[in-house]
Amino acid sequence: MGPCDLRNIRQDLPYKEDPRVLAGAYYSDDAGIFRLNETTTLVQTVDFFPPMVNDPYDFGMIAAANALSDVYAMGGVPVTALNLVGFPSDLDAGILRDILRGGFDKATEAGAVILGGHTVVDKEIKYGLSVTGILPDKAFTPNSGARAGELLILTKPLGIGIITTAIKRDFAPVEVEKEAIFHMSRLNKNSSAVMMEFGAGAATDITGFGLMGHARNLAEGSGVSIRFYADKVPVIPGTRELLEKGAYPGGSKRNRQYADEAVFWHDSTDEQTRMIMTDAQTSGGLLICISPEKAEGLRQKLRETGETYSEIIGEVIPRGDTLLETE
């Protein structure tokens, strides 16, 4: 569902305040934070969707990594998960077996245990996880924690939605497809641990609403504006060429509408870059807010842990006439 539609629906829903709820839907946080008692704080999330790649095992890994990412975006550690499955009754059960095996392997890599799950017969395949994590200490990174003067680091390159659209239409080059699958199936585990080590105060993972959509939620929740250095945003090689061939998903078009309500696009930000910055991602990277004196050290440490595309792509500024802008 697009961010505009979701926002309109949520406006009519009741919200119950509870002192045990430390983060959640009110600020469009990636996961809920619930203080169970003085020693245990839970992080809870759920995510599932239809396939975006052709191989069932790869899809299982990607869907699991995407669901686990919401816990990592809050600075948490996943501990348990439940499978969520929709599967057509006329398909080979071996396909579902491979999907579940991919999800199991990725959850195991995360250190989480899959306890079971729920399946329904559906017209199309859907898979994901409901994940429960914990906070190792009381620190976490909500959407409401960004402060003016901080810098923004993105840990993975953009272009996933464009590339997966090309995969579905069967014109994505093999090497570009492999690169996209590598990034989608890569856990944000190390990135999350490093950002907490450096004392990040806010973060979000870049998924279905795209970079600008999730940044808008971050700015709204924190009462600030965000300025992006558009020429610094990392992009998967081959993405622009696929855009030229018409690979742009419907979800990204909805994201563009949501972003355009809140962004001032500088004339130097070309149309392709605007499309990429609003492209719907799957299991994207973390967008991390960090103090200027720690930013370069964090970027270097992220690259040392394998996130070689990590880049400083913007800054948090006092709330202005628009929530987002590019330069």
Mean pLDDT estimate for the chain:
95
Q: Contact 290/300 with Cβ under 8 angstroms?
A: no
Burial of 229 (0-12, 13-18, 19+ CB in 10 A): middle
Q: Are residues 76 and 186 in the same domain?
A: no
Q: What is the CATH number of the domain that holds 222?
A: 3.90.650.10
Identify the band that residue 17 occupies on the pLDDT scale cut at 50, 70 and 90. confident
Query: pLDDT tens, 263-278?
Result: 999 999 999 999 999 9
* Distance of alpha carbon 201 from alpha carbon 199, whole angstroms: 6
For residue 310, the Cα-to-chain-centroid distance in whole angstroms is 15
Rounded average pLDDT over 54-64: 98
Q: Is residue 3 part of a domain?
A: no
CATH code where residue 70 lies: 3.30.1330.10
Residue 242 belongs to a domain:
yes
Residue-level pLDDT at 254: 92
User: Do both 170 and 262 map to the same domain?
Assistant: yes
Q: Are residues 50 and 180 in the same domain?
A: no
Q: Does 235 share its domain with 187?
A: yes
Final residue of a structural domain among 84, 103, 134 = 134
What does pTM read for this prediction? 0.94
Residue 257: DSSP 8-state: H
The count of structural domains within the chain is: 2
- Per DSSP, the residues of 12-77 read TS-----TTEEESGGGT-SSEEEE-SSS-EEEEEEEEE--SSS-HHHHHHHHHHHHHHHHHHTT-E
For residues 163 and 305, membership in a common domain is answered with: yes
pLDDT tens per residue across span 282-307: 999 999 999 999 999 999 999 999 99
Which percentage of the chain shows pLDDT scores above 70? 96
Q: For a pLDDT cut of 90, what percent of the chain falls above it? A: 91
Q: How confident is the model at residue 6 (pLDDT cuts 50, 70, 90)?
A: low
Which pLDDT belongs to residue 162?
98
Let me know whether 96 and 52 are in one domain: yes
- Give the pLDDT of residue 125: 98
pLDDT tier, 9 (very low <50, low <70, confident <90, very high otherwise): low
Q: What is the pLDDT of residue 15?
A: 74
- Residue 271 neighbours by CB under 8 Å, 6+ apart: none
pLDDT in tens, 67-100: 999 999 999 999 999 999 999 999 999 999 999 9
Alpha helices in 140-270 (DSSP H): 160-168, 174-185, 189-197, 210-222, 239-244, 250-260
Residue-number span of the structural domain to which 303 is assigned: 151-326
Q: How confident is the model at residue 29 (pLDDT cuts 50, 70, 90)?
A: confident
User: Residue 66 domain-assigned?
Assistant: yes
Give the whole-angstrom CA distance, residue 61 versus residue 136.
Answer: 25
Express each pLDDT in 95-140 by its tens digit. 999 999 999 999 999 999 999 999 999 999 999 999 999 999 889 9
In the three-class reduction of DSSP (H, G, I as helix; E, B as strand; rest coil), residue 311 is classed as strand
Q: Using pLDDT thresholds of 50, 70 and 90, give the confidence band for residue 25.
A: confident
Averaged pLDDT for residues 163-180 = 97
How many H helices and E strands in the chain? Answer: 11, 13
What pLDDT score was predicted for residue 110? 98
Domain identity same for 219 and 298: yes
Flag whether 90 is in a domain.
yes
Does residue 42 lie within any of the structural domains? Answer: yes
